[in-house]
Structure 1
Amino acid sequence: MKLLTEYQSRVSSNEFINKINKSSSNYLLGLFDRCGYLLEDNIVFTDALDMEACDTSYSLSRYKWKSSPNNDDEWIFMLSRQGFLVDLAIAYHLTADERYLAKWKELIFSFIKQEGTASDLNQLCWRPLDSGLRLSNWIKSLVYLPQDGFSEAEWLALQEAISYHLYYQRETFVSKYLLSNWGVLALCGVAMYQILADDVCEDDVLWQILSDQWELQFTNQGTHWEQSPMYQHEVMMQFANVLQCAEVLNQPLPFDLRKKLTLASTSSYYQVDQDDCLLALNDSDAVDCSYIYDFYRGLGLLQDKKNEDWNQSAILIGEYYFNRTKKEEIISYSTLFCDQKAGLAVLKNEKWYLTCFNGLHGSSHGQASAGSITLNYKGQNVLIDSGRYSYMECVERMRLNSEEAHNVPSLKEQPGTIISGSWSYQQLTNPVAMMVKSFEEGYFIETSWQTKQHDTKEMALVTRRILLFEDFEMLLVMDSCESSRKDELRNYFHVDSDFRLEQLDSQFIQANSNSQQVGFWNLSPVTIQEAIHSPVYNQLAKHPVIMSSTASGDSLLNVMVVSMNQAVTIEEVMVKQNNEENPFHDCFGIRCIQDNSCKEVYLTVRDIISKDKLLVTEDEKYFYGRLVVFNDGQMLRIQ
């Protein structure tokens, strides 16, 4: 790596290090905490990018490199990636404390000596994605270490071990990896090495594979196909490391990686809340990703904050970017985002963070989450996703993957996604449509999907419509189903564990946290039950879930109102067809009153094929349409 010294000189100086030492960031606090464990011969995996986290400390010397203290092979895989070497290298770079360098050497040379080449006896150490990440972490950590800190024999041993990894990553790559995060994680370390070795032009095949991987794995709006925000960042961060190496050394790349990463960073903006906490969609954890997003900001890929607000990743960004990027103008990203190919719709502004998912489940990282929503209001989680907990075949993972663990409508006799194993499905839903739009008082999201039973071939169409009224601080979630048979519509709303729930009557629940009061009004009677969720891999917690059930004919409807304003009163209202005396049951009406203002919402669950299509309210307001809102008597047709 003949350009390594030049790279080091461009990303860091003594003055820059002193600035970082004077600043405090949660990223560095976490890093030095992990290093403290390492110096005591223990290890934890608590970085936001640790795919299979473990906050319980275990002895390194006892379990390295092929055994697991918790019967989960993922712990071995985490150890094999050796991200801890980057922690130790940065700690040494900032403090010049020789203990960190000594521990770095001890661990890497222990691995090289004991498991330095792949064999049938150490397959757990040599999965291609793990060895690829290991190579990346070796190269990243060497950026922070002086070459004169190694003896000639040590440096030679390192170069030989790196050369073996370069050979192994190429030899083990198979075409299946083109569509998998595995393939990106396996090869980006090779790309980083080529840039630092000034050999970019020597391997057209590698760069073509990396380009093909991006085109295959990302939608044209920048969302990763595996539908997991966590795995999107695993892939993006590897590509971002490649971009950083190339730009610092002024090495042109065969494709416009900056443009691609900028697009993906825009999609990623909608995959965290206002505090950069990750959306725990599908196989993801609800972790603080501030330093990851600050890294994107530092590279100029994401421009949503001023530079004084993104100091988490200064040491990772480096001096080369730090002064350049802070001059970038702030971009005001749209409140609404909808990637129909990925099945992701998001509403994000200063107060609200609302997500809705309805995508294809080709990836094994998907869960039974068709139609699932999450809600954060003023920095407080209200409706949560239940997470993943484990990759082992266990009751908890099966439960958390199921429809019951998500904020979804579910048909008892005609379920959508059926989970058959930790990584497999018995059947999947078929996404039909997704759209978002704004209107004067708020926003509207609609998504629909089809369920088809693998045995009977019976089908049903489920549609979820969401109205958010900003002026009333209120959310309406309306679920309807058209089916060829009678069924039971079940609804689940998983409430954050910070809330204490009190059922005031059969339809109304009040939820109280230390900072908020939220009212839940449901069309059908509701019950409160206890459920589990996993905020982070390997961790379980309890929370309340609001459940309801609606059973009738071939048309089913449920409506949930989530009100952040306790001054709002809610009541159901009757609708008739023009010139008819009896209520029209295919149209639902609700009246919401706040102070002197009134909103009425009317949803017609299916097209009218008999008698008048003109409908009339209790107070003789006439309307027509699938979804109509009256705001203080003024009609707005949403659909």
Structure 2
Amino acid sequence: MNLMTNIFSRLLKRNHKVNFIDSIEEYDFIKLLEYDKNTKLIADSAMENFIIPFPNFAKTDFNNGHNWNVTNKRYGKSYQLYIHSLRFVGSLLLEYDKTKDIKYLEKSENYIESWIDFMESKQKNEMLWYDHPVANRVQNIIYFLYLSKNTLNIDERKYYKLLKKHGEFLMDDKNYKYNNHSLMMDRSLMILGNILENRELFSTGFRRAKETLWYSFSSQGSHLENSPDYHRMVVKMYQEMERYLNKHDQTFGDVINKKLSVAGEFLPVISRPNKRLPALGDSGNSALGRKKVFKNFSDDELGLTVIQSENFYASFTAGYSTITHKHRDDLSMTLYYKGDDILVDSGKFSYGGDIRRRYIMSPQAHSTLFFDKEDYKLDNDNRFSTKVQTTKYFDNKKYTFVEGKNHSFESSKLSRRLIALKNYPVVILLDSAQSEVESNIYQNFNLSPQSEIVNYEANTAKIKTKSGNIVTFTQLQDIKEKIDVLPSQTEPVQSIVTSGYGKAVETKQLRFSAAVNSNSDYVFKTIISMDDSLSIQVTDINEFALQISVNGEEIFINI
């Protein structure tokens, strides 16, 4: 046991209240779950010794003994994470809180006592003492203790020792990583500190929560973990903690609350016109649940640009400030027009070693550029090195322009310029590449599963969207290799997108290819037209400008 752990132990022991359980009130903790359609199902299943770690996860059978090491290949590490969070116990407690049927509370005690026995057996388990499950397990145990006072005969000293052990883990800086899991740790430390009347625990959680906010959000209020779903979760956590602090006559303060207010404006802007969040990074196709805001957005700290109107939406990814929940999706785009997804991202699958997870995180699963002989690695230092970055953004009455670079390869460089016209459903891509070794570069388009490829040639492809609209992809220069149409397959994994946690659906990809060397400039000049009736012609292009004619209207674009 190190010096800091000894100090924490002494502090906790010194502050031990003989009747600390009796003093726990409802305002002293935060319920991790809300009662919903899954609560009774999970609780009743647990009553029969079938554990559902998370809604819609497969059950595991505890009838022949409580197997706290049980795994499930489909859900990867998440299966163990939620089991050791005692999330299912939280559902039992909610059901007891609603019905006052003592069997749910007694079953909760049975599972918690079983977990304690497993913990004390000192078996090896990665999720036994890991940030997320430790932080959330504390909350579920405290909720149990609150409901049990004056009802069950609880060994107070045993549970005091248990909470103390969790506090020591949460206080240890080596377990802290300044991400959303760490914020869970801070929340639990503040709650533990108040319940155990230990100022050191509370102050550490309070201080680190404030520090993590400034590390985790951009100057524009974007959460930097590369995922709209996690933005929503983290903002909600801060708001819950602020309400908790207010009940104890404390606050994060005006500056942080104003920052959270700005962060609250993010999701209505970056959501698609159909009020669904884009499946960027480890996000799903979840509902916004609020009024949609139609305006453009670009944040180079986050590495995301959104160009939109009521009928049109394009996202462009270039850059990142942390690798948490980050895919290798730089220079990728999504595209939506008149109610139809055209190009989609792969989205969240799971957090285990499943080969589909590895594919979904790769450039090949996104509408981006990649080499056949060289790949790039994600680097936490990109926040400072900016090897991958959104380098330019501007907007005028005729068009919106965004440019990004990916210079994180060993011997190659990539850049993409995306231009969206204002008065016509047209997107122009100007893709550049240089490499010190001769190789092929691929321009990949990840199609919506609802789309159908109706025609393709060497330099042109047409797809039909779900509603029957025709979208045309045209290369403005000869591509020597014939366009590839990549169907979905499992060996190797190819052309899939996620439809839910641990679920994937088939789709198709369009892929153009070209040779690249150190002298290459624009390897692809591509027009994507979402209106088959438009007459489009590029009349001039050089390193500074592009001139395009659409239905006879000449549009001059600075590039």
Question: What are the Cα deviations for residues 366-399 of structure 1, in whole angstroms up to 9, with x where unaligned?
Answer: 3321111123345543322123544444543333
Asked if structure 2 preserves the Cα contact closer than 8 Å seen for 1:494 and 1:546, the reply is yes
Greater RCO between the two (CA within 8 Å, min separation 6)? 2
Asked if structure 2 preserves the Cα contact closer than 8 Å seen for 1:460 and 1:484, the reply is no
1:239 is matched with: 238
Shift of residue 245, structure 1, vs aligned partner: 1.1
Supply the distance in 2 between the matched residues of 1:557 and 1:571 (Cα, whole angstroms).
20
Supply the distance in 2 between the matched residues of 1:569 and 1:459 (Cα, whole angstroms).
37
When structure 1 is superposed on structure 2, of 145-154 and 70-79 the one drifting more is 145-154
Match of residue 431, structure 1, among 377, 388, 400 = 388
2:3 is matched with: none
Match of residue 400, structure 2, among 421, 439, 444 = 444
Question: What are the Cα deviations for residues 502-552 of structure 1, in whole angstroms up to 9, with x where unaligned?
Answer: 225544444345435241322155332121233444223211111112347
1:399 is matched with: 359
Shift of residue 148, structure 1, vs aligned partner: 5.3
Q: Please say if 1:78 is aligned against 2:82.
A: yes
Q: 1:109 to 1:485 in 2, by over 3 A?
A: closer
1:162 is matched with: 163
Match of residue 462, structure 1, among 415, 421, 424 = 415
1:56 is matched with: 58
1:213 is matched with: 212
1:498 is matched with: 450
Shift of residue 209, structure 1, vs aligned partner: 2.2
Q: 1:30 to 1:570 in 2, by over 3 A?
A: farther
Match of residue 5, structure 1, among 22, 25, 41 = 25
The one-letter amino acid paired with 1:288 is: S
The one-letter amino acid paired with 1:90 is: L
SS, match of residue 252 in structure 1:
coil
Instruction: Using the aligned pairs only, state the percent identity.
Output: 17
2:37 is matched with: 29
When structure 1 is superposed on structure 2, of 255-264 and 215-224 the one drifting more is 255-264
Supply the distance in 2 between the matched residues of 1:367 and 1:190 (Cα, whole angstroms).
31
Q: Aligned pair count?
A: 519
Q: 1:285 to 1:102 in 2, by over 3 A?
A: farther
Match of residue 471, structure 2, among 506, 519, 540 = 519
Shift of residue 467, structure 1, vs aligned partner: 1.0
Q: 1:111 to 1:474 in 2, by over 3 A?
A: same
Q: 1:452 to 1:155 in 2, by over 3 A?
A: closer
1:173 is matched with: 173
Q: Please say if 1:545 is aligned against 2:509.
A: yes
Match of residue 46, structure 2, among 15, 29, 38 = 38
Asked if structure 2 preserves the Cα contact closer than 8 Å seen for 1:529 and 1:544, the reply is yes
Q: 1:490 to 1:346 in 2, by over 3 A?
A: same
Question: What are the Cα deviations for residues 28-75 of structure 1, in whole angstroms up to 9, with x where unaligned?
Answer: 22444444543443334555xxxxxx6322224556322324384442
Question: What are the Cα deviations for residues 221-251 of structure 1, in whole angstroms up to 9, with x where unaligned?
Answer: 2233332344444544433331221234443
Gaps of 5+ in 1: 12-19, 21-26, 48-53, 295-303, 306-331, 576-586, 588-603, 608-624
The one-letter amino acid paired with 2:136 is: L
Shift of residue 484, structure 1, vs aligned partner: 6.5
Supply the distance in 2 between the matched residues of 1:464 and 1:432 (Cα, whole angstroms).
12
Q: 1:432 to 1:260 in 2, by over 3 A?
A: closer
SS, match of residue 221 in structure 1:
coil
1:633 is matched with: 553
Gaps of 5+ in 2: 1-19, 488-494
SS, match of residue 346 in structure 1:
strand
SS, match of residue 370 in structure 1:
coil
Question: What are the Cα deviations for residues 101-128 of structure 1, in whole angstroms up to 9, with x where unaligned?
Answer: 444333233323432x594645531113
Q: 1:447 to 1:45 in 2, by over 3 A?
A: farther
Match of residue 441, structure 2, among 483, 489, 504 = 489
When structure 1 is superposed on structure 2, of 123-132 and 176-185 the one drifting more is 176-185
Q: Please say if 1:185 is aligned against 2:188.
A: no
1:336 is matched with: 296
